[in-house]
C-alpha cells in the first residue's frame, strides 16, 4: 500500500521523476510447496526450512467423542478448545445431534402434502414436485405445477425423536447465479415445525429479482397464530451470490441467534471465512417458544420466471440440554480446523471461538524442527500443514 500522497508534475515533457513510499503489508516470501506432517502417536514433527517463523494449519478428525482438543508447542504454547474430563465432575453429551442429513441421500425424509402452502410469505411456497440427490447435494428433479401465480416446488420433512425447546439447526445451501440471457428466480428454505405442523421458524436463500443476481438470506420466526416476525432479509452486499452458504438458527432460554458464513479458498490456497452475519433476538414474552417437533426443507421456482438452480448439502439439528456436566464438544467423525495465522477455529465447519479455552492462544513454529503434541491422546487423527517463509 502507498504511504501518503505523491505528486506528478504533468507540465514537463519527456521522462518524469517522482517518489513513492510503499508499505509492504507482508514482507515475507513463501515456498511454492505446502508441507503436511501427520501425527504419530499424537506427536508431530514440523520441519520449517524457511528463515522466519511460520503459522501452521491444524486439522484433527475425532476418532471418538471428546470434551476437548489441545495442541501444544513443546512446553511453551498451546491452543485448546473445550475442557478436559475431570474426576470431580461427570461428562455428558449436552448437545446431542438428533438429525444429521447429508445431501447424498433422501433416506429418512417424507414429502409434504402436495398442494399445501407452508406459509404465505417470502420463506415459503406451494408443495409439489420431486427432489433428487446427485450423490452429494439435493435439488429439484421436478417442480410439479401451480395454477395461480407464485412459488412452488418439492418440500420434505422428518420428525425429531422428541420435541425440543433449546436447539441449534445448521444448513448448508446454495442458489446459483442466473444463466446469461435468462430471467430466472430460485429459492431454498429450511423449516422448523411444532407438533401441530405449524411453522415456527424458516430460513434460507432466495433470488426473486429476475433481471439480475440478487441472492438474499432470509430468516423469520412465527407465533402460534402463524404471524411472522422477519429477522433478516438482505443480499449482504452480494455476499451470498453463487456460493454454498452456511445458515444457522439457535434458540436457548428464548434467546434466538441467527448466523450466516461462507468458506472460500484464496489465490494462495488458504481457506478464508466470509459472508458473516450474526443477529440476536430476545423473545422476552415467549411468543415464539413452541417446541420443535419436525425439520424440513423446500426447493422452489416461480410460475412467471425460468428456473434458477438451488441445492442443499446438509441439515444438522442439535438439541441443547441443561446440566453442569462437562460436555462433549467434538463428535466422532467431526473435524477441528485451526488456522494459526488467520486466528480462527471451526468444529464440523462451524465457527467455534466460543469454545476456546481461556489462556490458550494461536501460536507459530520457529525455523528448524518443532515438536507438537496432541491431547487427549488416542482421540484424534491429526495433520499439520505449513509453508516455509523467508525474510
Torsion 233-237-240-246 (CA) sign: negative
Confidence (pLDDT) at 315:
97
Distance of alpha carbon 388 from alpha carbon 49, whole angstroms? 6
Q: How many domains does the chain have?
A: 2
DSSP three-state, residue 28: coil
From residue 309, alpha-carbon distances to 14, 34, 168, 241 in Å are 56, 36, 27, 12
Closest CA to 204 of 260, 251, 276: 260
First to last CA, the chain: 19
Supply the pTM of this predicted model.
Answer: 0.89
The CATH number for 56's domain is 2.60.120.860
Instruction: Tell me if 344 sits within 8 A of 273, measured CB to CB.
Output: yes
Q: Reduce the DSSP state of residue 330 to 3 states and report it.
A: strand
243: DSSP letter: S
24 inside domain: no
151 is a domain residue = yes
Q: Which residue has the cell 434460507?
A: 204
**Residue 121 and residue 167 in contact, taking contact as beta carbons nearer than 8 Å:** no
Q: Kindly list the distances between the CA atom of residue 34 and the CA atoms of 8, 50, 263, 379, in Å, as whole numbers in the listed order.
A: 42, 12, 20, 26
Cell (9 digits) for 323 = 446440566
Cell numbers that stand for 46 in this block: 514440523
Q: Which of 230, 252, 244 shows the shortest CA–CA distance to 136?
A: 244
Residues 61 and 197 in one domain: no
* 273: CATH: 2.60.120.200
Is residue 17 in a domain? no
**Cβ pair 122, 233 in contact under 8 A:** yes
* 253 and 141 belong to one structural domain: yes
Q: Which domain holds residue 175?
A: 97-319
Q: Which of 319, 354, 371 is the last residue of a domain?
A: 319
Residue 346 domain-assigned (yes or no): yes
Q: Please tell me whether residues 142 and 245 are part of one structural domain.
A: yes
* Nearest by Cα to 133 from 99, 101, 160: 101
Are residue 222 and residue 153 in the same domain, yes or no?
yes
Is 252 in contact with 320 (CB distance < 8 Å)? yes
- The C-alpha atoms of residue 294 and residue 199 are separated, in whole angstroms, by 9
Is residue 130, in this structure, part of any structural domain at all?
Answer: yes
Q: Going residue by residue through the chain (391 aa), what tens digit of pLDDT does each one get?
A: 555 566 666 666 667 777 777 676 677 788 888 899 999 999 999 999 999 999 999 999 999 999 999 999 988 899 999 999 999 999 999 999 999 999 999 999 999 998 888 776 778 799 999 999 999 999 999 999 999 999 999 999 999 999 999 999 999 999 999 888 889 999 999 999 999 999 999 999 999 998 888 999 999 999 988 888 999 999 887 889 888 999 999 999 999 999 999 998 887 778 888 888 999 999 999 999 999 999 999 999 999 999 999 999 999 999 999 999 999 999 999 999 999 999 999 999 999 999 999 999 999 999 999 999 999 999 999 999 999 998 8
Please give the backbone phi and psi of residue 353, each rounded to the nearest 5 degrees, phi first: -60, -25
pLDDT at 12: 63
> Which residue in 349, 325, 293, 336 sits closest to 93, CA to CA?
325
222 with 292, same domain: the answer is yes
Would you say residue 3 lies in a domain?
Answer: no
Alpha carbon distance 357, 375 (integer Å): 14
Q: Is residue 210 domain-shared with residue 242, that is, in the same domain?
A: yes
Q: Is residue 75 one of the residues assigned to a domain? A: yes
Q: Which of residues 292, 319, 346 is at a domain's end?
A: 319
Residue 152, preceding bond cis, omega within 30 degrees? no
| Secondary structure letter of residue 353 according to DSSP | G
Asked if residue 198 and residue 223 are part of one domain, the reply reads: yes
Q: Is the separation of the CB atoms in 116 and 293 below 8 Å?
A: no
Amino acid at each position: 500500500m502507498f504511504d501518503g500522497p505523491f505528486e506528478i508534475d504533468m507540465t514537463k515533457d519527456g521522462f518524469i521523476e517522482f517518489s513513492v513510499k510503499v508499505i509492504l503489508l507482508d514482507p515475507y516470501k513463501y515456498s511454492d510447496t505446502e508441507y503436511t506432517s501427520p501425527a504419530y502417536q499424537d506427536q508431530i514433527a514440523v520441519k520449517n526450512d524457511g528463515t522466519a517463523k511460520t503459522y501452521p494449519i491444524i486439522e484433527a478428525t475425532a476418532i471418538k467423542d471428546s470434551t476437548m482438543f489441545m495442541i501444544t508447542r513443546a512446553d511453551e504454547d498451546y491452543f485448546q478448545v473445550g475442557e478436559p474430563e475431570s474426576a470431580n465432575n461427570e461428562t455428558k453429551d449436552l448437545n446431542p445431534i438428533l438429525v444429521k442429513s447429508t445431501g447424498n441421500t433422501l433416506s429418512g425424509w417424507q414429502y409434504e402434502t402436495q398442494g399445501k402452502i407452508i406459509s404465505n410469505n417470502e420463506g415459503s411456497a406451494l408443495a409439489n414436485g420431486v427432489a433428487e440427490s446427485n450423490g452429494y447435494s439435493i435439488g429439484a428433479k421436478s417442480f410439479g405445477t401451480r395454477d395461480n401465480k407464485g412459488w412452488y416446488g418439492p418440500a420434505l420433512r422428518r420428525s425429531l425423536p422428541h420435541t425440543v425447546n433449546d436447539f441449534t439447526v445448521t444448513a448448508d445451501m446454495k442458489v446459483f447465479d442466473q444463466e446469461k440471457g435468462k430471467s430466472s428466480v430460485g429459492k431454498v428454505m429450511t423449516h422448523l415445525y411444532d407438533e401441530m405442523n405449524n411453522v415456527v421458524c424458516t430460513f434460507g436463500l432466495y433470488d426473486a429479482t429476475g433481471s439480475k443476481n440478487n441472492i438474499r438470506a432470509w430468516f423469520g420466526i412465527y407465533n402460534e397464530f402463524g404471524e411472522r416476525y422477519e429477522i433478516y432479509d438482505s443480499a449482504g452486499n452480494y455476499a451470498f451470490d453463487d456460493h454454498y452458504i452456511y445458515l444457522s438458527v439457535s434458540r436457548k432460554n428464548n434467546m434466538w441467534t441467527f448466523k450466516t458464513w461462507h468458506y472460500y479458498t484464496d489465490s494462495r490456497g488458504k481457506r478464508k471465512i466470509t459472508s458473516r452475519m450474526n443477529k440476536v433476538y430476545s423473545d422476552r414474552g415467549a411468543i415464539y417458544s413452541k417446541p420443535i417437533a419436525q425439520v424440513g426443507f423446500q426447493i422452489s421456482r416461480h410460475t412467471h420466471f425460468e428456473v434458477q438452480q438451488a441445492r442443499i448439502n446438509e441439515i444438522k439439528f442439535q438439541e441443547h440440554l441443561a446440566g453442569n456436566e462437562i460436555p462433549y464438544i467434538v463428535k466422532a467423525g467431526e473435524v477441528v480446523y485451526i488456522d494459526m495465522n488467520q486466528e480462527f477455529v471451526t468444529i464440523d465447519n462451524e465457527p467455534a471461538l466460543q469454545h476456546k479455552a481461556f489462556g490458550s492462544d494461536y501460536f507459530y513454529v520457529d525455523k528448524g524442527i518443532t515438536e507438537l503434541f496432541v491431547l487427549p491422546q488416542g482421540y484424534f487423527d491429526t495433520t499439520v500443514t505449513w509453508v516455509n517463509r523467508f525474510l
